[in-house]
Structure 1
Amino acid sequence: MEKKCIKCVVWDLDETVWHGILSENDQLRLREGIADTIRLLDERGIINTVASKNNAEDALRQLESFGLLEYFLLPQVNWGVKSASIRAIKETLNIGYDAIAFIDDQPFERDEVKSVLDEVNCFDVDVIGGISADDRFIPRFITEESAKRRMMYVTDELRKQEEEQFTDNHSFLSQLDLQFNIALAEEKDLQRVEELTVRTNQLNATGYSYTYEELQQLLENDGYRVLVCELTDKYGTYGKIGVSMLQTAGDAWNIHLLLMSCRVMSRGVGSVLLAYIIQQAVKYGKTLYADFLPTSRNRQMYITYKFAGFKELGKLENGGVQLVHDGVTVPVIPDYLQLTATDLSAR
C-alpha cells in the first residue's frame, strides 16, 4: 500500500498564519480558519512547527497571545535561510523530507527550500483552505498514539533534559525504569500496526506497508504471529513502537517484517524484539530465517541482522535477500530494562 502522508507541517508566520508583518508593527490578525486547521492537524497526529524570519521572542509571544504556541514544536524563528530551519526540524524529528509540508506565502522562500531540499512538499497559502479534506494530510487511521504524538514529543524533551545531567548513557537508561512489552497483536492493535508500517521507513527491514485487511488475515492464520511492542518509562508511555510478522510453520520460522519506531532508538531498545525472537527460536530448536529488502533508508536494519548472527542465504524473488540465523549467536537483553513477553511456542 502506497500512501504518502504528511507527518509535519512547517508554517511561515507573516501573511501565512497571520495577516500582517510582525517586524513592521502591523496590526496582526489570524488567517480565517487557521487555528482550527492547526488543531485539526494536531488531533490527526501531524506535528505543527514554524520556520519564520523574525525576532524569536516577539514571534513566540505573538503565537502565545493567539493561543497557538502550545501546538508548535521546535519553532525555528531566526534570520537564516528557511531550508536550514527545515533541516534542523527534520533531524530532530527523525523523519523523511518527503513527510514534511512547508507552507509560505512567498514564492522566493518556497523556491529556496525546494532548491536545497527537493523532497520537501512546498505549498502556497491557498492550500490552507483545503487541508482538512486533502488526502496528503489525512492519516488512514487516527490512533491513540497519533492523537498523543505532540505530547509524546514534549515528554521526550523532558527526558533529553534529564539525560544531559548524566555522563554516561547506561546510567541514564538504568534509572528510567524502562518496561518493554512484547505481545501477540489483537484486532484493536491493527490500526496502530498499519500506521507503523506506513510511517516507519528507516527501521523497517522490508519497507513494506501492510493494510488493516492484510493484518486481519494474518491474525486469523495459525501459521503466523503478529507481534507488537510497547515501551514505557517513569515519564509515561512511548506507545506501541515495534512490530514483527513471524511465520512459524514447522521447524522453520521466518521473519517477514521487523520494524521499530525511530523515536526509541536512543533508548537502546532497537534490537530487543529481534533478540527475543532469536532466543525463542533457539529455545524451541527452530531454524530462523529473515527477509531483508533494501530501500534507500533501511540499511541500519541489515546491520542489525548481521550483528545478531544472521548471514545471507540467497536472493528473494522481490529483489531482497533471505537471511538465516547461525543458531549460536543469542543477543542479550539489556540489563537496564524489564522485558515481559508472550511465549511463541503456542498461540
Structure 2
Amino acid sequence: MSNIIKKVKCVVWDLDNTIWNGVLLEDSHIELRDGIVEIIKELDNRGILQSIASRNEHNQAIEKLNEFGLSEYFIYPQINWNAKSSSVKKIADSINIGIDTLAFIDDQVFEREEVKFTFPEVLCIDAEDIKDLLNMEQMNPLFITEDSKLRRKMYMSDIERKKLEEENTGTQEEFLASLNMHFTISEVGEGDLQRAEELTVRTHQLNATGYTYSYEELDAFRKSDDHKLFIAGLEDKFGSYGKIGLVLLECKSDVWTLKLLLMSCRVMSRGVGTIMLNYIMSIAKEANVRLQAEFVPTDRNRTMYVTYKFAGFKEVKEENGVVTLENELKYIPRTPEYIKVEFLETV
C-alpha cells in the first residue's frame, strides 16, 4: 500500500485583493489579478473543485464574477458577512468532503488565522503566494483522468439533482425512480487504472479499510489469478457520475476476502452503496466459497462498518487493528427496482 501525500480536493478563494485587485464595495475600478484566470482554469482541468468564502454583498460579487466570466468555476460560493471558518465548513459540508482536503486562500492574515485556529487541518495560503500555487505538491494529482476533467460539471449536476429532490413531494423511492439510474460493474481494465488509484487516494468516508494503492499495485492485482478487481460507474438523466466504486477481492480456493470496498461519497444518498456489495456476495455464493471482509476503523468510515453489518456480515476476529467479518451468504438482498444494474465486459 502506498504512502501518498494528501491532495487538495477544493480550493476556497477570497475575492477582494485575492482573485481581483481592489475592494468591490469601495473601489470604482476592479481588475483581475494577473494570471488568475489561467490558475483557476488549470485547477479545474486537474479536477480540483473551487469555491468562494468572501465577506461581500452577494449579488454584487456574483455580478462581478459573471462579468469576468468566472462564476461557473465556483460551486457552493459563500458570499456573506459570516466568519470565514463558517463559510469554509459550509463548503466542505455541501460538497461532502473532509475539511482537511480544503485549501483556503486570502490576502488577510486575520482571516487565514481565524480559519487556521478553527480548523487547523485546512491548508491556508497567502494570496501573495498564488503564483506558486500550481507547483504545490498538494495541487498536483498523480493523474488527470477523464473523471477529473469533468468533476466540476458532475458536481453541478449534483446541485441540480438536489434541487429536484427538495422539490419532490413524493416518497424517496419515487424520487430515485425518477432519476433513471444505470449502475455498471466491470473488471478493471488498463484504461481504468488511473481512476482506480485516484479513488483509493480520494475516498475516505466510504472506504472500508482506508487502504490506498498505487497504479502499479492495482495493475498487479488486475493481472493476478488470486485477485479480482472491479470498478463501478453510475449515470442518470442528468448525466454521468463517473467511476464511483472500487472492489478488491483476494481469492483463495475456499475463501474470498474483500480487501477493499469503497464508494464515492457523491452517491451516498442515491441508495446504490450496497449494490456493489450485493454483486460480490452473489458471485461468491455462485463460486461456493466463504466470503470475508476486512474493516480497518478510521475517524471517518464507520458508515462502511454499518454497511457490512446490515448486509449480514458478522465479526469473526480482530487482529492488529484489522476487523475480519464473514457473511454466510444465506440471504442476498434484491437490487432496488428503481435502478438498472449491468455487468460490462472489459474492453
TM-score normalised by the chain length of structure 1:
0.96
For 2:47 and 2:243, the matched residues in 1 are separated by 14
In structure 1, distance between residues paired with 2:183 and 2:319: 32
Q: How does 1:56-67 map to 2 (within 5 A)?
A: 56-67=58-69
User: Which of 277, 280, 300 is matched with 1:277 structurally?
Assistant: 280
Q: 2:207 aligns with which of 201, 204, 207?
A: 204
Structure 2: how far apart are the matches of 1:39 and 1:304? 38
Q: Give me the CA root mean square deviation.
A: 1.2
1:161 is aligned to 163
> Could you tell me how far apart the structure 2 residues matched to 1:337 and 1:108 are?
49
Which letter does structure 2 place at the counterpart of 1:13? L
Indicate the larger mover: 64-73 or 205-214. Answer: 64-73
2:12 alignment partner in structure 1: 10
Match of 1:327 in 2: 329
Partner of 1:145: 147
Structure 1: where are the runs of 5+ without partners?
A: none
Q: Could you give the per-residue CA deviations for residues 143-167 of structure 1, whole angstroms, max 9, x where no partner exists?
A: 0001000101111111112222323
Is 1:214 the equivalent of 2:217? yes
The residue type paired with residue 179 of structure 1 is: H
Equivalent residue number for residue 25 of structure 1: 27
One-letter identity of the residue aligned with 2:128? D
Pick the aligned partner of 1:109 from 84, 108, 111: 111
Gaps of 5+ in 2: none
More displaced 10-residue stretch of structure 1: 236-245 or 166-175: 166-175
Amino acid paired to 1:234: K
Corresponding residue number in structure 1 for 2:128: 126
- Partner Cα distance (2:218, 2:28) in 1: 54
Instruction: Give the structure 1 partner of residue 101 of structure 2.
Output: 99
Alignment correspondent of 2:266: 263
Q: For 1:210, give the aligned amino acid.
A: Y
Query: Is the deviation greater in 29-38 or in 282-291?
Result: 282-291
3-state SS of the aligned residue for 1:321? Answer: strand
Identity percentage of aligned residues:
48
In the other structure, the counterpart of 1:314 is 317
CA deviation after TM superposition for structure 1 residue 342, in Å: 5.9
Q: Distance in 1 between matches of 2:335 and 2:5?
A: 35
- In structure 2, distance between residues paired with 1:177 and 1:202: 26
> In the alignment, does 2:252 pair up with 1:249?
yes
Q: Distance in 2 between matches of 1:105 and 1:204?
A: 36
Question: What is the deviation of 1:25?
Answer: 2.7
Deviations 1:31-68 (A, max 9, x none): 11111100000000001111000100111111111111
How far does the alpha carbon of each residue in 1:157-193 deviate from its partner, in whole angstroms, 9 at most, with x for none? 1111222232321001112111111110001000000
SS of the equivalent of 1:225 reads: strand
Moved over 4 A (4+): none
Q: Which amino acid aligns with 2:41?
A: R
Task: Return the match for 2:305 from 294, 302, 305.
Answer: 302
CA distance in 2, matches of 1:164, 1:67: 29
Q: Report the counterpart of residue 192 of structure 1 in structure 2.
A: 195
Aligned to 2:335, the other structure's residue is in SS state coil
Count of residue pairs brought into register by the alignment: 342
State the Cα distance separating 1:275 from its structure 2 match. 1.1
Matches within 5 A, 1:39-58: 39-58=41-60
User: 1:68 is matched with which residue?
Assistant: 70
> Distance in 2 between the 1:9 and 1:258 partners?
28
